[in-house]
Chain A
Amino acid sequence: MKVLIIIPAFNEEESLCNVVKNLKSAAPDVDYLIVNDCSTDRTEALCQEHDFNYITFPVNLGIGGGVQAGYLYAVENGYDVAIQMDGDGQHDPNYIKDVIKPIQDGTADMVIGSRFITKDGFQSSAMRRLGIGFLKFLIRICCGTTVNDTTSGFRATSRSLTKFFAKNYAQDYPEPEAIIAAVLEGYRVTEVPVIMHERQGGESSINALKSIYYMIKVSLAILIYRLGNLKKKG
């Protein structure tokens, strides 16, 4: 199994080195690709200094465009599994083998690392959990699949789903939309429990003011995706 870890990074100079170091010690046999989304800090310089495997955008595309570039790279280089892992240290590379396993066994095409199954580790704020719960409800009524951690950015995709995402992927706030897209396209989505940490550095891409915009945009995106695929199962 050729496994690629995609690490989208926007202004992650504080945490990126640790993330890569932890990744190399926890999973030495997987490849990784850092996607520097036109950071304004020293993210790119750090990648150069440490000779990381990275690509860098000349303009800022947002998380969706960054992850999609990772999927394109995975398709180009024939990886069997592509795993998205955030560059801020929230995701523990020790769980990589857990998120790969269902794909290895051939029982799933998308595996989402969920912090709400065992309810251990960093659980996020009550407001965020409420929003995540609402998206879970929305996705369940739209396509009948239950995903607890709808916004988790720790997820693995099989070769065929990676190919699909390399062509079609939402540009901003893509995580919940990607779930419904995968389900409606007939891919199998499953969750495995993981423990997440609080971010080591940098700032979340979603602040208090943006969260209302986030909820409206993501909910609409899910509903519109459902409307655009009325004939598909769900």
Chain B
Amino acid sequence: MVITLRIFLIVCILIYLLIILNLLRKKNLNLRYTLVWLLSGVIMMVVCIFPDLLFEFARFIGVVDPVNMVFMVEGMFILIILLSLTTIASHSNDKIRKLTQTIALLERRIRKLEEGQQAQDLQEEEKCP
């Protein structure tokens, strides 16, 4: 890999990691859901500093141009991150459903209680005007 490309990629990854850390610091990101982002950044960084690791592997599986391997790894990370996002969305969906059902059942109980209370109040008013 050309040295200029390596420097360019390392700078990009550094900026990327800084953005994530800054978002974490400002609590715009939940660390639980950010680990996969950080991990991808760190691995990319390792690959840029020691490119021979990746290129050996590229040659082994038959990728002709080693730089393509970098893009392929990037693409894989994006897929994994998207999948983890879908998992998170599914979990949130389950929680929202459960909350909605609970709210609806509680709302009915409150309504019934209030109706009973109103009836009681009316009775008491009639007794002692």
Chain A residues at the B interface, C-beta cutoff of 8 Å: 35, 53-59, 61, 65, 68-69, 72-73, 76, 171
Contact B101 A72 (CB under 8 A): yes
Q: In whole Å, how far is A6's beta carbon from the nearest beta carbon of chain B?
A: 12
Chain B, residues 89-129, CB within 8 Å of chain A (1/0): the string is: 00001001100110111011000000000000000000000
Since A59-B96, A73-B105 are in contact, a sample of 13 more A-B pairs with Cβ atoms closer than 8 Å, ordered by chain A residue number, is A35-B104, A54-B108, A55-B105, A55-B107, A55-B108, A56-B107, A57-B100, A57-B101, A57-B103, A61-B97, A69-B105, A72-B105, A76-B105
Which of A35, A55, A59 is the most central at the interface, judged by chain B CB atoms within 10 Å of its CB?
Answer: A55
Q: In whole Å, how far is A130's beta carbon from the nearest beta carbon of chain B?
A: 31
Q: In whole Å, how far is B95's beta carbon from the nearest beta carbon of chain A?
A: 12
Chain B interface helix/strand/loop/mixed: helix
Q: Which residues of B contact A65 (CB under 8 A)?
A: 97, 100-101
CA separation between A55 and B109, bound complex, in Å? 9
Q: In whole Å, how far is A109's beta carbon from the nearest beta carbon of chain B?
A: 22
Q: In whole Å, how far is B14's beta carbon from the nearest beta carbon of chain A?
A: 42
* CB within 8 Å of A: which B73-94 residues: 93
CA separation between A54 and B107, bound complex, in Å? 10
Q: Which residues of B contact A35 (CB under 8 A)?
A: 104
Chain B, residues 25-41, CB within 8 Å of chain A (1/0): the string is: 00000000000000000
Contact B97 A171 (CB under 8 A): yes
Q: Which residues of B contact A72 (CB under 8 A)?
A: 101, 105
Q: Which residues of B contact A68 (CB under 8 A)?
A: 97, 101
Top 3 nearest A-B pairs by Cβ distance? A55-B104, A69-B101, A55-B108
- A–B complex contacts, Cβ < 8 Å, 15 sampled: A35-B104, A53-B108, A54-B108, A55-B107, A55-B108, A56-B104, A57-B101, A57-B104, A59-B100, A61-B100, A61-B101, A68-B97, A69-B105, A73-B105, A171-B93
CA separation between A79 and B34, bound complex, in Å? 45
CA separation between A35 and B107, bound complex, in Å? 12
